[in-house]
Amino acid sequence: MSIDGLTDDQQIYQGFQYSSLYFTKSEQLSFLFSSDPLVGGTGFKASLEHIDCTCSAGLVLVKNNVLTSPGYSNSISYCPDLFCTPKIDFQDDLYDLQMVFTDVNLRSYSLNNDTDSLTVFDAYDHTVVQMAPSYFGFMTFWATVSPVRVQFVSKVLTAFPLNMIGRGYSMNLNLVKKHIVSEKITFTDTNFFKDISKLDLSSNDTFEFVVTGRAETQIFVYFFTKTTNQVFIDIFDGDSMDAARIDNKALYSNVLENGPSMTLSTSSNKAVIHIRGNPAFVGTNTDFQAMITDLKPEESCGPLVYSMRNAKEQYKHIPLQGTNCYKILHFADSSYTPSAFMSVKFSDNLPLNLFYGLTTSTDYLLAKYSHDPRPEDLFTNYMVLQYSSSIAATVEFFWDTSSGLIARTMQPSQTVMLVSDDYGKSNTSQTIQQFSVQLEGESNVQTGLTCEFLADSGLGTSTLTWSDYNNQIKHERFSNAKKSQTFSSCGNILLVDYTSPGGGRDNGLYLKITRADLRCSLSPSHLSIFVLLSISVGSLFFI
């Protein structure tokens, strides 16, 4: 038997032939069948059908629809040598797009492992998924911005065993109404940092930040956690979604979680930022942490933001050189435990402003020189440094989680400063925490201890108890202590029991403990002073 109309190497058939699918090279097809006198053959049986090879140009979705490969609805397979790139447009200011593949059946027959493929690209030309024959994996995918492009490629082979022919693909396209939770951010000369972490990514909400920077600035977004496949990030270079989108493909390749933080920036002082968890992949532990600013650091200052993901590992040798510079130290704790703290150390004593939290407010100024007394345990995941330096000074930091009691010692000439973990934070709940400070090197004439409040304690209440080891000397209770309020007493132990009901930034304990000058007599065996602070803590949220 010979068939005219197939490719040259598929025209003549003799003897037994497996059931196969053949494609013609033209619309004309003819058969020449002859037999010899031998008995035993059964002849042949074939069926003919027309397969549509026309690629779809795409769809403009105004309601749910279906996209299929060419010929899917009325043929047993699809044509060879296809390169189809249909585009799916949808109104992305109102809807997200859900893509559900109900069938993916590609031809597995190939030469040199060169197989058919199906690939979905998002609006940034990033590969959402690539499917080969025998694909096994997720079948539902999402897009938050339009358009989405589907690339369907079939190879030039024109003959296949029937068990390898493949039918193509079919996908449902569903429009899902966006639910936008919007927040307006306006930067000023006194407020130009904003944290946008700890979003409820599993809520299916789109978190929108409409940002206006100061005149003649740009908007910069710094990323602290990996985002690949789990978080949609769309940044519009203007004051609405009609503005051009910032290319975010860099976020899919690598977000450095330990070191200088990756950033994307706009061309002007306006930005609209959308953050949404990917419903197909988001989990209970999915986290997103980032910050926004309109501050562009001078080149001499180096990177603005350094972040650490790994606890207990010191990030060393961060240079502090340049004029009128800022440096932000950050740690990314996905558990958001209130007992996580940062510790900072400087190589040299230089003038600077050290701010507690992501702020430059003088209300949270901890030090004006790098070697000024300050709390060793800083219960915030941000510290801001403002400095000018011509020397090769450096800073290092690490973070950890407090296990309960935090113990400190001090010499008579030293000062110990302490903060509670609700200090300077919003949306805190009830708080409990413990500190201890021991004064060493005293003579047999004790001077007592002075405890000074460096900030209002708000709704926090405490009990101060001075004692001589096991002998209580003074007991005093306070509520809503005021800044500069001071308590002093003889005694080598000071106990502070602090309780806060939670709430906002007005609550928190910020103390300075120094040696008093009370000339308290003490036996020679009692040569030290011990300070214990006990503070009540629960969970809180960073903003």
- Does the residue 541 lie in any domain? no
- Does the residue 542 lie in any domain? no
Verify that 150 and 230 share a domain, yes or no.
no
Distance CA 315, CA 305 (A): 12
Q: What is the DSSP letter of 163?
A: G
| Token pair recorded at residue 68 | 């299929």
Distance CA 396, CA 370 (A): 12
Verify that 154 and 99 share a domain, yes or no.
yes
Verify that 232 and 275 share a domain, yes or no.
yes
Verify that 421 and 531 share a domain, yes or no.
yes
- Does the residue 31 lie in any domain? yes
Residue type, 160: F
Contact 485, 453 (CB under 8 A): yes
Q: Dihedral angle at the C-alpha atoms of 349, 353, 356, 361, nearest 10 degrees? A: 170
Give the pairing type, strands 461-468 and 471-479.
antiparallel
Contact 511, 452 (CB under 8 A): yes
Contact 66, 173 (CB under 8 A): yes
Verify that 418 and 481 share a domain, yes or no.
yes
Least confident of 141-145, 347-351, 476-480, 503-507: 503-507
Distance CA 370, CA 382 (A): 16
Summarised one tens digit per residue, pLDDT across range 197-231 is 988 998 999 999 999 999 999 999 999 988 878 89
Verify that 412 and 530 share a domain, yes or no.
yes
Verify that 422 and 481 share a domain, yes or no.
yes
- Does the residue 70 lie in any domain? yes
pLDDT of residue 231: 92
pLDDT of residue 16: 52
**The tokens 């120094």 sit on which residue?**
514
- Does the residue 497 lie in any domain? yes
Verify that 167 and 217 share a domain, yes or no.
no
Verify that 420 and 526 share a domain, yes or no.
yes
Last residue of a domain, one of 401, 423, 452: 401
**13-17, 105-109, 253-257: which is most confident:** 105-109
Last residue of a domain, one of 267, 296, 325: 296
Verify that 90 and 171 share a domain, yes or no.
yes
Q: What is the DSSP letter of 246?
A: P
Verify that 210 and 118 share a domain, yes or no.
no
Residue type, 63: K
Distance CA 186, CA 181 (A): 17
**38-47, 105-114, 304-313: which is most confident:** 304-313
Summarised one tens digit per residue, pLDDT across range 279-301 is 988 877 788 999 999 999 888 99
- Does the residue 156 lie in any domain? yes
Contact 393, 347 (CB under 8 A): yes
Least confident of 11-15, 87-91, 280-284, 342-346: 11-15
- Which residue pairs from 466-473 have beta carbons closer than 8 angstroms and sit at least 24 positions apart in sequence? 466/490, 466/491, 466/493, 466/494, 466/495, 467/491, 467/492, 467/493, 467/495, 468/492, 468/493, 468/522, 468/526, 469/493, 469/526
Distance CA 187, CA 295 (A): 10
Output the CA angle 235-238-242, nearest 5 degrees.
85
CA 303 to chain centre: 19
Q: How many structural domains comprise the chain?
A: 5
Taking residues 293-311, what's their average pLDDT? 93
Summarised one tens digit per residue, pLDDT across range 320-338 is 999 999 999 999 998 888 8
Last residue of a domain, one of 132, 155, 177: 177
Taking residues 376-380, what's their average pLDDT? 92
CATH of the domain at 114: 2.60.120.290
| Token pair recorded at residue 139 | 């079948």
Q: What is the DSSP letter of 455?
A: S
Closest C-alpha among 398, 194, 220 to residue 309: 398
Closest C-alpha among 160, 126, 141 to residue 96: 141
Distance CA 227, CA 288 (A): 7
Contact 527, 411 (CB under 8 A): no
Read off the pLDDT band of 524 (50, 70, 90).
very low
Alpha helices in 158-310 (DSSP H): 249-253
**20-24, 104-108, 153-157, 244-248: which is most confident:** 244-248
CATH of the domain at 368: 2.60.120
Peptide bond into 147 cis (omega under 30): yes
Read off the pLDDT band of 425 (50, 70, 90).
confident
Which residues span the domain enclosing 527? 405-536
Contact 221, 261 (CB under 8 A): no
Verify that 136 and 124 share a domain, yes or no.
yes
3-state secondary structure of 413: coil
- Does the residue 53 lie in any domain? no
Give the pairing type, strands 405-410 and 432-439.
parallel
Distance CA 392, CA 348 (A): 9
- Does the residue 103 lie in any domain? yes
